[in-house]
Structure 1
């Protein structure tokens, strides 16, 4: 938890530098409270994303069983908008039970939507049990975009541009 406090302190410092400390502080604090009410664990990573023009925080939490969870939280309201678990292995039963699209085909879909180089892929299980691939793609201007592809249909679920990141990367696939 000490790491979480340090990361949040750095984030608030970034907000001060941007001149929007109060708004950042309120949204961030509301998100942290909401997530703590949902899941106990250590905050390991925080990203600020732009999802269709809306500011969203993506928190990564590691629970006592070392399972990783992602929470998407509206940066203005502090409300959780999405919760999903991550699995390290695409062959995990929770992930592969819904997979109809290969990782390679999903990667092609993601790269067609956002051209660039795939830097990371995560295997996610949505709150409703659906599986998805999340690709971090960096373009030639060094902008990172996350493209989430449904593992059953091969359709893009969500695209978001990363504005900044604080914390450690989990076990990632490159």
Structure 2
């Protein structure tokens, strides 16, 4: 995507640095990735910022792109075998993929394994639909419920280990 397209998408929002500063205040570390969702699952534009610390802990912080406020923090884990994820998860990655693809047919680009602030394990899948739109779908790893759907307009800092 061209830089002018990124600027146009973000028009009317706080500067991205506002959200980066807010994320750094909550979870100090290195920025690994930033995504722009519009609409996010909450119905507002959001910057989703991945932060890693020196111990290789990783968090995903959602920031309201209109106000600059952090409204969600999830811990990322390396995979489905991580004890924080596997300890309560009942669905397999294949189960989560099938549920997400039933909602949004397309090609799975990325799968992440996260633990919500309340301790629930969640699959986060990026799917490119038939129209070429990238959508983010979150599936609860215990109940199979679709928790969130959103449109991802751009991403900076692609993680090769998570891409297919």
Q: What is the aligned counterpart of 1:141 among 131, 138, 143? A: 131
| TM-score, length of structure 2 as denominator length | 0.88
CA pair 69-171 structure 1, distance change in 2 beyond 3 A: farther
Could you state the TM-score of these two structures normalised by the residue count of structure 1? 0.83
Which residue in the other structure is 2:22 paired with?
34
- Following the alignment from structure 2 to structure 1, what is the Cα–Cα distance between the partners of residues 10 and 128? 27
Q: Matched residues in 1 for 2:72 and 2:33: separation?
A: 16
Aligned to 1:91, the other structure's residue is in SS state coil
Q: Establish whether residue 48 from structure 1 lines up as the match of residue 36 from structure 2.
A: yes
Q: Once the 2 structures are TM-superposed, how far is the Cα of residue 39 of structure 1 from its aligned partner?
A: 0.8
**C-alpha RMSD of the superposition:** 2.3
Give the corresponding residue for 1:111: 101
How big is the shift at 1:109?
Answer: 0.8
Cα deviation, residue 13, structure 1: 9.6
Secondary structure of the equivalent of 2:132?
coil
The answer as to whether partners of 1:149 and 1:158 remain within 8 angstroms in 2 is yes
Cα 1:12–1:72 change in 2 (3 A) is: farther
Q: Superposition pairs for residues 30-109 of structure 1, below 5 Å?
A: 30-50=18-38, 51-52=40-41, 53-109=43-99
For the 8 Å contact 2:74–2:117, the answer to whether it is kept is: yes
Q: Deviations over 1:2-41 (max 9, x none)?
A: xxxxxxxx979942xx3966x44x3423312221111111
- Superimposed CA distance per residue, residues 42-76 of structure 1 (whole angstroms, 9 cap, x where no aligned partner): 11211100225420111111111112211111000
Q: Whose Rg is larger?
A: 1
After TM superposition, the runs of 4+ consecutive aligned structure 1 residues lying more than 6 A away are 10-13
Structure 1: stretches of 5+ with no match in the other structure: 1-9
